[in-house]
Amino acid sequence: MHPASSVIIFTTFSGTGYGLMMVLLATMLLGWLPRDPSLVLYGLLLSFALVTIGLLSSTLHLGHPERAWRAISQWRSSWLSREGLMALITYVPMGVLIITAFMNLPDNEVLGTVENAVTSVAATMGEGHMVSQLHDTWVSVMMVLGVICAGLTVFTTAMIYRSLKPVAHWHNGFVVPLYLLMSLMAGSMITVFFMVGFGYDLSYVGVSSMALIFATFGLKLNYWRAMNRMEPTSTMESATGLGHLGKVSVLEQAHTEDNYLMKEMGYQVARKHADKLKFYYRLFAFICFLTITAISIWQFNQWWVMAISALSLIISLLVERWLFFAEAKHAVALYYGKK
């Protein structure tokens, strides 16, 4: 499939935003992280920005972006509609928690100008104590709803691709777990960055982040091995229904150059380029693992360590997303003589 940049940005940014929301709220519900209103506010604001950028970029892939609102009308039968509906629903607990956290900020952080707000944030970073915490029951309910809604949104996004039977690279048992793990991995790493900035002990969160990186890396490698060994679910014989006559091949195509279907559905990436990109994914995923390990064990909170980890995270996510689309082939390509 042709790896459209809008879809890559959508799946990468929105997945990271929902992952941050899930991990940040779940760690607070489990008691691994204090319910610091400043941390809730800044963490969910970043999550809101990432999710919104991703959702807006997804509309660029539509022929008529102004009609994107109609996508949610078919939620009974379409995973795309369900994903759009869940994305809108998730804004509710996210927005409630952002407003609640803002209202519970210490008085010296509620400032009226951008300059003072930036100064306030800078002053907050590095403090290892709490001024106030969010302990109301309804706040806990909103946090639980936030985790559930974010998780369901990522799940429905994965099911958009998992449900497409003509694309063998997507219609398999790896896709949904990979989407969820990639989202949680990215979210856990950003949560670690926030915790270091706020001066909190990483403990369980750091170990969990390393485990998520390791699990995602291992599952992705197994996915690639399975795809390389996979027997074709469709052939030219089965696609044309002429298999009973013997071997089927295209004598002459009806066009002299690739048409729209071949450019979009039969996109091919050279094996040597795919192998090179897979090496880069392994490299930057390993760098992510090392930097999070260093931050967790040796408390390296220098800005350059965080920058290396963030850059490695972005590159590994973008490479993985690009390959996810580029290596997938639609069965319609069989009608044009593609294997």
Across 163-167, 220-224, 261-265, 298-302, which has the greatest mean pLDDT? 220-224
Write the CB contacts of 209 (distance below 8 Å, at least 6 apart in sequence).
Answer: 185, 188, 189, 191, 192, 292, 296
Q: Number of structural domains, the chain?
A: 1
Q: Which DSSP letter does residue 232 get?
A: P
AA letter at 93: P
Q: Is-contact 58 7, C-beta < 8 A? A: yes
pLDDT exceeds cutoff 50 at 75:
yes
Count CB atoms within 10 A of the CB of residue 101: 22
pLDDT at 111: 46
Mean pLDDT in the chain? 80
The domain in which residue 271 lies consists of 5-336
- Predicted confidence at residue 184, as pLDDT, reads 95
Report the alpha-carbon distance of residue 205 to residue 256 in Å, rounded: 57
Residue 258 has pLDDT above 50, yes or no: yes
Rg (CA), the chain: 23
Residue-level pLDDT at 77? 83
Which one is predicted more confidently, 305 or 77? 77
Query: For 100-155, what is each residue's pLDDT tens digit?
Result: 999 888 754 544 434 354 444 444 444 443 445 676 788 899 999 999 999 999 99
pLDDT, average across residues 2-20: 89
Helix (H) / strand (E) containing 187? helix 175-198
Dihedrals φ, ψ of 330, to 5°?
-80, 145
User: Measuring CA to CA, which residue among 98, 93, 87 is closest to residue 10?
Assistant: 87
How far apart are alpha carbons 159 and 182 in whole angstroms?
Answer: 15
Q: Among candidates 68, 92, 58, 84, which has minimal Cα distance to 152?
A: 84
CA distance 132 to 82: 37
Amino acid letter, residue 207: V
In 197-206, which positions are buried (b, 16+ CB within 10 angstroms) versus exposed (e)? Answer: bbebebeebb
Asked if pLDDT for residue 267 goes beyond 90, the answer is no
DSSP calls for 305-328: HHHHHHHHHHHHHHHHHHHHHHT-
Phi, then psi, of 152 in degrees rounded to 5? -65, -35
Q: Does the global pTM surpass 0.85?
A: no
pLDDT of residue 271: 66
Backbone angles phi, psi at 167, to 5 degrees: -110, 100
How many CB atoms are located within 10 Å of the residue 305 CB? 17
Q: What's residue 310's pLDDT?
A: 83
292 contacts: CB under 8 Å, gap ≥ 6: 189, 192, 206, 209, 210, 213, 309
Give the H/E segment covering residue 216.
helix 203-229
Q: What is the mean pLDDT of residues 299-303?
A: 66
CATH code for the domain in which residue 44 is found: 1.20.1630.10
